[in-house]
Amino acid sequence: MLLFEPYRINANLQLENRIVMPPVVTRLATSEGHVTEKLIERYLMYADGGAGFVITEAVSVKEQKSGQLLRLNSDTFVPGLKALTQRVHDLTPCKIAPQIIHFMKIARSGYRQKVEDLTIEEINGIPRLFAEAAARAREAGFDAVELHYAHAYTMASFLSRHNHRKDDYGGTLKKRLRLAEEVLIATRKAVGDDFVIGARINGDEFTLGGNTPAQSKPIALRLAELGLDYISVSAGGRFEDAVPRPGEALDPYTGYSGHRTMPPSWMDEKVNVHLAAEIKAVLNQSGYTLPVITTGRIPDAQTASGILDKNQADLIGIARPILCDPYWPTKYKENREKDVLKCIYCNECREAEGAFQEVICARWKKKDGSIVPPTR
């Protein structure tokens, strides 16, 4: 089964298998953005469970109020993250990378900062923020770094057709790509050619007037031209169709586009796989071999392997099923499917994240009120 065969990203990162644990918010960091023991234990569980590559929850590159969100905006955060990577590397063969993110202001009053509101000075500072955070990630012992270019956040908002700036950072796709190019170039300069840089992008925004594969394919091609090492293809998660809730900040995962980011049980299995397949086909036809990661309602090893067999992706992102049972990879590899605690895609984990509560799987909760994660 291809899923459990080793895989190399570029020449620099050897994975035990083709299973990737994509970013899943834990809400286990401190309110100041520091690592906690509970957070380390959670990622150790994912790593010990057999995933070849774990991408952490988003890590902020900027100093700003953000709740229990990990940060890399100063050197003070390096020791805690180094403790995390050392434990993962000492105890497992898993590789681990942070997903680094820049986001704009949002308030319970309903205010939402948009790319049109940023000054040129603020924009010019963003590549440096990403580059410095990536350099700290390497210092902290991570094996790679992933640039968050997807969903509702700053980088995706510049790439989007919803970007209505009138200067060199908006309008045509070439101009909307400019900041993404500058961030990648600055990050590569900061970490060197021997350190893996990936990016998560939207294959489709699933909003009226937003990006579709007609935009995501040339975006992926341009990033490949600039030397990106892998592309993770997600979808949706936009503010444009978010459902307003009185007294709460707008949540980009409440509308249809948000459901496409984390497809619930009423959506088809593999609902977003075609997006990664289209991007991979365009990259390969253009002579690029960087791996493409696909995600979205891929429930079991047989389904994942079928995607690989059809050459629709190179790596398989398994998020909620591994949250549900961190030992999902090991159990399937050992032909122990009957022992797997299976995700039912109820999205209670997503609701907990949105409420700033510790994210666990609803299936860990027992009738007596205890919380018991699966074991090996």
What is the domain partition of the chain in residue ranges?
Answer: 2-364
- Model confidence band, residue 225 (pLDDT cutoffs 50, 70, 90): very high
Superfamily of domain 2-364: Aldolase class I (3.20.20.70)
- d(C-alpha 84, C-alpha 99), whole Å: 14
- Model confidence band, residue 11 (pLDDT cutoffs 50, 70, 90): confident
- List pLDDT tens digits, range 237-259: 999 999 999 888 999 999 999 99
| Per-residue model confidence (pLDDT) at position 110 | 84
| Per-residue model confidence (pLDDT) at position 66 | 72
- Model confidence band, residue 228 (pLDDT cutoffs 50, 70, 90): very high
Instruction: With residue 325 as reference, give the H or E element that holds it.
Output: none
Mean pLDDT of all residues in 23-45: 96
| Per-residue model confidence (pLDDT) at position 184 | 98
- d(C-alpha 254, C-alpha 237), whole Å: 8
- d(C-alpha 128, C-alpha 123), whole Å: 10
- d(C-alpha 235, C-alpha 261), whole Å: 5
- List pLDDT tens digits, range 132-182: 999 999 999 999 999 999 999 999 999 999 999 999 999 999 999 999 999
Q: What is the CA radius of gyration of the chain?
A: 19
Mean pLDDT of all residues in 103-122: 94
Does 93 score more than 90 pLDDT?
yes
Could you list the active site residues? Answer: 153
| Per-residue model confidence (pLDDT) at position 355 | 86
- d(C-alpha 21, C-alpha 42), whole Å: 12
| Per-residue model confidence (pLDDT) at position 183 | 98
- d(C-alpha 115, C-alpha 113), whole Å: 7
- d(C-alpha 151, C-alpha 155), whole Å: 9
Mean pLDDT score of the chain: 96
- Model confidence band, residue 124 (pLDDT cutoffs 50, 70, 90): very high
Percent of the chain whose pLDDT exceeds 90 = 93
Q: Quick one: which of 340, 344, 299, 337 has its CA closest to 318?
A: 299
β-sheet bridge partners, residue 232: 200, 293
Mean pLDDT of all residues in 354-376: 92
Phi, psi of 200 (to 5 degrees): -100, 130
| Per-residue model confidence (pLDDT) at position 132 | 98
